[in-house]
Amino acid sequence: MKTTLKIRGSAGRKVIDGSIRVNGSKNDAVQAVASSFLFQDGLTLENLPAIDDIDKMLELAKLLGAKVEQTDHNVTITAPKKLLQNGELDKKIAKHIRASILFTGPLLARYGEVTFPHPGGCVIGARPIDFFLDGFNRMGATATESGDGYMIKAPPGGLKGAKIFFKNQTVTGTETFMMTATQARGETMLKNCAIEPEVENLGQFLIKAGAKIEGLGTPTLTITGGATLQSADRYFILPDRIEAGSLAILGVLLARSLTITDCRPDHLEALLGVFEEMGVELTTTDSSIMIRESEKPLRGVKVKTHEYPGLATDLQAPLAVLLTQAEGESEIVETIFESRFGYAEALAKMGAKVELLNQSRLKIVGPSALRGETLVSPDLRAGLAYLLAGLTATGETTILNVHFIDRGYEQVDKRLAALGLDILREEG
């Protein structure tokens, strides 16, 4: 069955007055699901987003033998005493979700083995897994390539602490080895770690559960392993800062006034700084962002993506749509992934003046009147950018490959329709 989104655009008019709530973070939730295999008792997660990536992570947990009890946006996961399938992640599911690799550390650390296929996800550039294999090797594990996947086994005495330096900051790598190290013998030192809020949230919860972790919020983590983890508390999933940022961009594009609630503006300081430079009118509280229609035209800007606390690479495609409506020349420099401007051709097809200067630089000249087109979403964040572009355009836009958008945004069509936007999901 093919799903499409049919969007009747506003032709650039400001049509939104209202508020919208931010859901739980996809990036926080996937690691929390994987971490459940570290706990001797059940782990309860709250504020879980109802998105495809989480459905797949929970299905992987069930197939490994975990008991999963879900109610609304909460779930309790109880890891098995013994893994099913000999610790092998389901290939069909794991190949479609990059976050599946987060299971490898907890499974290896607690059960002594794991088999997994080369992980999948969006096609936005190389995401090598060599550093995972090297890191596990440093901790005493042996890795064997098996067909299109890998089998990893811990030594008889269990994993041992190690010093691991990440060549490039990696959120998934930092999370994986932080979880793994809690069960290893001795001390593990991780250097050049990612410092995203999701990493810190996971670390703080593990500490509450009995783990010994020092250096949270810094690029160097020191973990003393061997602790038995007990989930005395519930794991509250952070508000999704990428969804919050995307909704804020929607507000700048189309709102007379839009309040984004249940969010963390302090996690979006880089984006809000770009807004200020553009001339966006906004106010914030500890948990909300209010966007108001600007009296003056928005100004073009030059921006560069960067690891947190810099401008998130996951926001650059939605931001590009906004920059098509700003006066003058803008430029986006992408520093994280080398193939993330695939959406530029679609924006040009809609009437935007965009020029790919090289693999990492995109020039945008605005403002441009966008027109509706039929677009095929290439990945999660570009798909959301197409949705924003269609809502801004004149005429009708049809978006295909909606499953990419559903991976990270819960019922986005219904939530935006509730704001008065003309958007319809069609199954056929």
- The confidence score (pLDDT) of residue 232 equals 74
- The confidence score (pLDDT) of residue 123 equals 39
- The confidence score (pLDDT) of residue 405 equals 96
Query: E strand or H helix at 52, and its extent?
Result: helix 52-63
In tens, the pLDDT along 120-150 reads 544 334 446 788 999 999 999 999 887 778 8
- The confidence score (pLDDT) of residue 362 equals 98
Cis peptide before 367 (omega within 30 of 0): yes
Mention every residue, 6+ apart, whose C-beta is less than 8 A from residue 273.
none
- The confidence score (pLDDT) of residue 227 equals 87
3-state secondary structure of 146: strand
Whole-structure pTM over 0.85, yes or no? yes
How far apart CA 192 and CA 194 sit, in angstroms, is 7
Q: Which of 58, 102, 122, 206 is catalytic?
A: 122
Is 122 marked active-site? Answer: yes
- The confidence score (pLDDT) of residue 122 equals 42
- The confidence score (pLDDT) of residue 1 equals 64
- The confidence score (pLDDT) of residue 124 equals 35
Query: Phi/psi at 243 (nearest 5 deg)?
Result: -65, -45
- The confidence score (pLDDT) of residue 233 equals 85
- Residue ranges, the chain, pLDDT below 50: 121-127
Spell out the domains of the chain, with CATH numbers in brackets. Answer: 3-23+239-427 (3.65.10.10), 26-236 (3.65.10.10)
In tens, the pLDDT along 6-26 reads 999 999 999 999 999 999 999
How far apart CA 214 and CA 226 sit, in angstroms, is 15
**Residue 90 · residue 63 · CB < 8 Å:** yes
